[in-house]
Amino acid sequence: MTKGIVVILTGASSVGKGQIRNRLLEDEELNLFYSISETTRPQKEGEVDGKDYYFVSHEAFAESVKNKELLEYTEFNGYYYGTPKAQVDFLVDKGKNVLIEVEAQGVGPIKLSIPDALAIFVMPASMEELEKQIEMRYKDDEASIQRRINKAKMEMELAPLFRNIVTNDDVDKAVSEIKELILKVQKDRA
Ligand code: 5GP
């Protein structure tokens, strides 16, 4: 059986990765399954454990790291996030395409393990637009806003390292560009 493709979706915090991700996952033609990350950050209202993330304790996360169960992991805004390896292997071996959403530093370690993964960097329409989005999303927490803006600036500096850059000035357009990239890789590998 042909193995599935691993698609890595990355870009700064609040650039709209979540919205793009959901649209891609809904598209049956893409045969795309979401790689659910482990995180130590608290569950937000509306989030579902085992769907959006596996919400785990610090101790459980440390155990996953110690047992080398994560393809990569990072600390972000005081919490840990990581990509469980077994889940990705399982889906890819079954011929399913897998979508991994990570912050930009997570991409390198994944590419080391899965060199033919398709990495896509999502750009904001502008830095001003991104700052506006971050401020709107985290309006009650000034310290978190500043941390996320600083982190977003650092992440944007990594953009030139990516061959596939998609600007999210229009979600429909961004989604269809990414869909085309995935279908092209799928065709090339068939
Ligand atoms: P949030 O707390 O807003 O859900 O996520 C914060 C950041 O962590 C986002 O940029 C998201 O893409 C990233 N992230 C989520 N899961 C993972 C993961 O497993 N590994 C890495 N490196 N980053 C992740």
**155-179 pLDDT per residue, tens:** 999 999 999 999 999 999 999 999 9
Q: Give the pLDDT of residue 107.
A: 95
* Helices of type H across the chain: 17-26, 58-66, 85-93, 107-113, 127-137, 142-157, 171-189
**Residues lower than pLDDT 70 in the chain:** none
Pocket test for ligand 1, best of 22, 101, 149 (most atoms within 8 A of CB): 101
Q: Give the pLDDT of residue 14.
A: 87
Nearest Cα residue to 100 out of 43, 45, 32: 32
What crossing angle do the helices spanning 171-189 and 17-26 adopt, rounded to 10°? 50
Q: Give the pLDDT of residue 53.
A: 96
Provide the token pair at 136: 């709107």
Ligand 1 neighbours (beta carbon < 6 A): 13, 17, 37, 41, 72, 74, 76, 81-83, 101-103, 106
- pLDDT > 90: what percent of the chain? 85
Q: Give the pLDDT of residue 13.
A: 82
Three-state SS at 185: helix
Distance CA 119, CA 45 (A): 30
> What residue spans define the domains of the chain?
6-189
Sheet (strand 37-39) strand order = 53-55, 37-39, 79-84, 70-76
Q: How many CB atoms lie within 10 A of CB 147?
A: 17
Distance CA 143, CA 107 (A): 26
Give per-residue pLDDT as tens, 49-64.
Answer: 999 999 999 999 999 9
Q: Give the pLDDT of residue 36.
A: 98
Rounded alpha-carbon distances, angstroms, from residue 84 to 32, 70, 147, 149:
17, 4, 26, 27
Ligand 1: which residue has its CA nearest to atom 2?
Answer: 41
Cβ atoms of 16 and 108 within 8 Å: the answer is: no
Q: Give the pLDDT of residue 54.
A: 98
Please, is 126 exposed, middle or buried when counting C-beta atoms within 10 Å of its C-beta (0-12, 13-18, 19+)? exposed
Pocket test for ligand 1, best of 81, 107, 133 (most atoms within 8 A of CB): 81
- Enter the pTM of the model: 0.93
Tell me which fold the domain 6-189 belongs to: Rossmann fold (3.40.50)
Provide the token pair at 140: 């009650």
